[in-house]
């Protein structure tokens, strides 16, 4: 079985979209793949509850309990490796990962970023896109490499930026597209793993 581990920090709506797609499209039978665990660096992350309700194992590795980024990443990697993952999926996981962590999962570590990369890596993507006068915003699914929010692009979705958009209204429009492209990109990748 190809184990998928999903890392979240917050509401976990992308994670939920992936879990629902795996159920709806029967990834166990079709891809020999399952969501093996959902992990969070925040004990209070809302998505943990959804995962538990779905009968998915959850782990919390609280970054505040570690003195350094390296120590946190080491503990996180230990938890991840216990699930023997074929794929590690960052879904609103708001921690910068060390090069050693990224290297360890090279080729099987995905992220979704709420902009049309390579535009607007980093934070506050929607506000920055509006301020730059962009006519389109969007989201990108990409392989994770050592450089933040870079790495080979697997999927993108674009949405229009409307004249009266705020960062919040644009984020909501982009998020609906994230929920479509992330499960689809994973399903396309699974046969290659």
Q: State the binding string over 161-190 for ligand GAR (x if CB under 6 A, else -).
A: --------------x--x------------
Distance in angstroms (rounded) separating the CA atoms of residues 47 and 45: 6
For ligand GAR, which is the closer residue by CB, 32 or 136?
136
Site pattern 3..42 for ligand GAR (x: CB under 6 A): -----x-xxxxx----------------------------
User: By CB under 6 A, is residue 92 in contact with ligand GAR?
Assistant: yes
CB of residue 136 to ligand GAR, shortest distance in Å: 16
Distances 118 to 22, 29, 67, 114, 176 between C-alpha atoms, Å: 29, 36, 32, 11, 21
- For 108, which DSSP code? S
Q: Annotated catalytic, 113?
A: yes
For ligand GAR, what does the binding mask look like between residues 93 and 112, x meaning CB under 6 A?
-------------------x
**How big is the CA angle at 63 (ends 61 and 65), to the nearest 5 degrees?**
90
Nearer to ligand GAR, 82 or 124 (CB): 124
Distances (CA, A) of 178 to 78, 141, 175: 29, 8, 5
The answer to the question of residue 121 lying near ligand GAR (CB under 6 A) is no
Classify the phi-psi angles of 116: left when phi > 0, otherwise alpha if psi is within -120 to 50, otherwise beta: beta
Catalytic residues, by residue number, are: 113
């Amino acid at each position: 079985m190809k184990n998928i581990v999903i890392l979240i920090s917050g509401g976990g709506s992308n994670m939920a979209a992936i879990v629902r797609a795996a159920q709806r499209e029967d990834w166990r039978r079709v891809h020999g793949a399952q969501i093996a665990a959902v992990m969070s660096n925040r004990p209070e992350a809302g998505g943990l509850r959804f995962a538990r309700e779905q009968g998915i194992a959850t782990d919390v590795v609280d970054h505040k309990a570690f003195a350094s980024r390296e120590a946190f990443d080491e503990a996180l990697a230990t938890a991840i490796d216990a699930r023997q993952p074929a794929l590690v999926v960052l879904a609103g996981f708001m921690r910068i990962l060390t090069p050693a962590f990224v290297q360890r999962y090279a080729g099987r570590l995905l992220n979704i970023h709420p902009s049309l990369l390579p535009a607007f890596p980093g934070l506050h993507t929607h506000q920055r896109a509006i301020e730059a006068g962009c006519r389109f915003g969007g989201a990108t699914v990409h392989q994770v490499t050592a450089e933040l929010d870079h790495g080979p692009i697997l999927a993108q979705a674009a949405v229009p930026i409307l004249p009266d958009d705020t960062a919040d209204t644009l984020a909501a429009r982009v998020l609906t597209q994230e929920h479509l492209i992330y499960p689809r990109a994973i399903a396309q990748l699974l046969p290659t793993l």
